[in-house]
């Protein structure tokens, strides 16, 4: 299967070692080693990304901008094939090959507050280095990706047309999602608020999308498929969603879900260390909201998918997306309980700069 793809890049498949890599839910990823060189090969899920060439074009324009304005920034861009293409289309789908940066590594689980700080700093840096980039030049690779109002409508749609047995069995979770609906209203306010800006936003700030060096310093961010115009709450919020709790969205024992204060502080400090000059007062007032926004959206998306028979995320066991939804709702409740403390930490962080 890989032979024509690797050949396009001048790599002989029979001399390469190819093994699955990473834990993403959407694209397929492999690490390819050839002699001393290593690469990351990815098949873009074109059931999700209908126009993979738009991703490649976004990477080209970001690369040109960064090369001109911030040539010292490590921007990991897909390689061109021998005949100059930035993407290979075969019967098996769309593929790209990215150089593996020697001396770098990724992590799958945040196990120290400094890792959260480093990652938040890198995501903030990415947006702030691109503050002058003409935002209209970015293609929307997934239109409405973080449009919470649309996600809520899709949830309501699933309540109408989804699997009736699953709808009946999830009445409690449906109630909780409805109870938190104010999070959607705040999002609507944000969209109409002049203090909120659309910036170059990563939209997938999980820890495995940060490259670290051997001493644990953040190097740069990777996995740029969903880089699009967006609000800062997407990136900051998804870090809260994925770094605050000691257990991930896959955890079935909800007792283990908690908010780690020192990780919250690390995320906010790391992000603000790069973004404090960028954010308006109105945006600064929505730092804790960012976490609520992203956790709520993910809970909506998992439950919606469960009601739609797992057609988007797939399921490794019966009720997988239901468990994920309950997990995210639990996390949302834990975060909401701590809101006053977290807001206080935000104020302390803002004053400490
Ligand atoms: C998907 O593929 P992965 O794991 O990077 C999803 C994210 C979700 C995440 C939940 C394009 O990301 O939005 O937060 O799963 N990406 C897409 O694990 O839908
Ligand atoms: Mg991703």
Q: Quick one: pLDDT at residue 60?
A: 94
The confidence score (pLDDT) of residue 255 equals 98
The pLDDT value given to residue 336: 98
Token pair for residue 158?
């699933």
Q: What is the DSSP letter of 177?
A: H
Q: For the chain (length 353 residues), average pLDDT per consecutive 10?
A: 92 94 86 94 94 95 97 95 94 94 93 98 98 97 97 98 98 98 98 97 97 97 96 98 98 98 98 97 98 98 98 97 98 98 96 86
For residue range 45-93, list pLDDT tens digits in order. 999 999 999 999 999 999 999 999 999 999 999 999 999 999 999 989 9
- Which pLDDT does position 1 carry in this prediction? 78
Right CATH for 3-102 from 3.40.190.10, 3.40.50.2300, 3.30.200.20, 3.40.50.2020: 3.30.200.20
Q: Which atom of ligand 1 is nearest to the CA of 27?
A: 2
Q: Which atom of ligand 1 is nearest to the CA of 24?
A: 4
Number of continuous H segments (helices) and E segments (strands) in the chain:
13, 9
From the CB of 48, is ligand 1 less than 6 Å away?
yes
Residue 27 Cα to ligand 2 midpoint, Å, equals 7
Kind of pairing between the strands at 28-34 and 37-44: antiparallel
pTM of the model: 0.95
- Whether ligand 1 lies within 6 angstroms of the CB of 204 is answered as yes
Question: Do residues 31 and 18 lie in contact, with contact meaning Cβ atoms separated by under 8 Å?
Answer: yes
Ligand 1 within 6 A of CB of 24? yes
Q: Ligand 1, residue 225: give the atom nearest the CA.
A: 11
- Three-state SS annotation for 42-108: EEECCCCCCCHHHHHHHHHHHHHHHHHHCCCCCCCCCCCCCCCCCCEEECCEEEEEEECCCCCECCC
SS3 198: coil
In 3-state terms, what secondary structure has residue 131? coil
Residues of the chain with CATH 3.30.200.20: 3-102
Helix (H) or strand (E) holding 156: helix 148-161
Which residue, by CA, sits nearest to atom 12 of ligand 1? 25
**Fold exhibited by the domain 113-351:** Aminoglycoside 3'-phosphotransferase; Chain: A, domain 2 (3.90.1200)
What's residue 31's pLDDT? Answer: 94
Location of structure tokens 């809520």: 152
- Residue 147, classified by CB atoms within 10 Å of its CB into exposed (0-12), middle (13-18) or buried (19+), is middle
CA distance 328 to 314: 17
């Amino acid at each position: 299967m890989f032979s024509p793809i690797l050949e396009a890049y001048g790599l002989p498949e029979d001399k390469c070692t190819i093994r699955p890599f990473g834990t993403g839910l959407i694209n397929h990823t492999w690490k390819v080693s050839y002699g001393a060189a290593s690469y990351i090969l990815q098949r873009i899920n074109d059931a999700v990304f209908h126009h993979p060439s738009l991703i490649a074009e976004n990477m080209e324009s970001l690369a040109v901008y960064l090369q001109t304005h911030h040539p010292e920034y490590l921007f990991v861009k897909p390689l061109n094939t021998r005949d100059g293409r930035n993407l290979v289309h075969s019967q098996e789908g769309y593929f790209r090959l990215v150089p593996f940066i020697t001396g770098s590594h990724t992590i799958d689980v945040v196990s120290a507050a400094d890792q959260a700080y480093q990652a938040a700093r890198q995501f903030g840096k990415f947006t702030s280095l691109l503050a002058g980039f003409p935002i209209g030049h970015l293609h929307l690779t997934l239109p409405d990706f973080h449009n919470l109002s649309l996600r809520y409508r899709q949830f309501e749609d699933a309540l109408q047309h989804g699997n009736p047995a699953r709808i009946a069995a999830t009445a409690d979770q449906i109630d909780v999602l409805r109870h938190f609906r104010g999070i959607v209203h705040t999002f609507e306010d944000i969209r109409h608020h002049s203090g909120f800006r659309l910036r170059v936003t990563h939209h997938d700030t999980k820890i495995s999308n940060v490259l670290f060096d051997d001493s644990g310093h953040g190097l740069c961010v990777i996995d740029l498929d969903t880089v699009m115009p967006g609000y800062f709450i997407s990136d900051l919020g998804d870090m809260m969603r994925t770094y605050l709790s000691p257990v991930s969205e896959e955890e079935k024992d909800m007792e283990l879900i908690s908010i780690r204060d020192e990780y919250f502080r690390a995320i906010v400090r790391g992000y603000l260390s790069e973004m404090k000059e960028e954010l308006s007062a109105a945006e600064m007032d929505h730092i804790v909201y960012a976490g609520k926004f992203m956790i709520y959206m993910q809970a909506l998306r998992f439950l919606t998918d469960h009601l739609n028979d797992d057609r988007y995320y797939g399921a490794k066991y019966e009720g997988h997306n239901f468990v994920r939804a309950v997990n995210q709702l639990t996390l949302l409740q834990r975060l909401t309980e701590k809101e006053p403390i977290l807001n206080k930490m935000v104020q302390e962080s803002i004053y400490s700069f």
